[in-house]
Amino acid sequence: MISIKLADFNDPALTSFIRDHITDMKPTAPNESRHALDLETLQTPTVRLWTAHIDDEIVGTVALVEIDLKHAELKAMRTAPRCRRQGIAAKLLEHALVDASSRGLSRVSLETGAASFFAAAHALYRKAGFQDSGPFGRYSEDPHSVFMTRTL
């Protein structure tokens, strides 16, 4: 059974999980084209981070970063490699979208990699109603990035 809760930043397992996420991104694009958030940034007041658990083990994360009062960015979307293709990412994504909607946001956008490593993520986002878009917020066009958005 998967449970989702707000992240406990005192949990050393979360530190490892986020570190592994950043490590996974390294081979996918040059430094300037990787936008994964580190643990310190995930703890800022404009970010909400959730963790998915099976029993007491963290098996996934998702975050929403406030862009403005009506728009948030999806970040830190990761499923533990041994747990992929079990629906965890879909549950995390739905949790984040329900939260965004309940807070009156009208749009959620994301930036993800363009490499084949991200093909399953692209499919998940499209299935959830995200559409390709241009850069938003602080982003600019980048051949290593795919930008998507969804109206709530």
Percentage with pLDDT > 90 across the chain: 86
Q: Which residue has 């965004």 as its token pair? A: 100
Percentage with pLDDT > 70 across the chain: 100
Query: Quick one: pLDDT at residue 10?
Result: 96
Query: Quick one: pLDDT at residue 28?
Result: 82
Question: How many angstroms separate the CA atoms of 120 and 93, rounded?
Answer: 13
Lowest mean pLDDT among 19-23, 31-35, 138-142: 31-35
The per-residue pLDDT for range 29-79, each reduced to its tens digit, is 777 878 888 999 999 999 999 999 999 999 999 999 999 999 999 999 999
Q: What is the mean pLDDT of the chain?
A: 94
Query: Quick one: pLDDT at residue 35?
Result: 87
pTM of the model: 0.93
Find all residues with CB under 8 Å of 37, minimum gap 6, and list them: 47, 63, 65, 75, 76
Q: Which residue has 């879909």 as its token pair? A: 90
What's the pLDDT band for 27 if we cut at 50, 70, 90?
confident
Query: Quick one: pLDDT at residue 17?
Result: 95
Lowest mean pLDDT among 5-19, 26-40, 99-113: 26-40
Find all residues with CB under 8 Å of 12, minimum gap 6, and list them: none
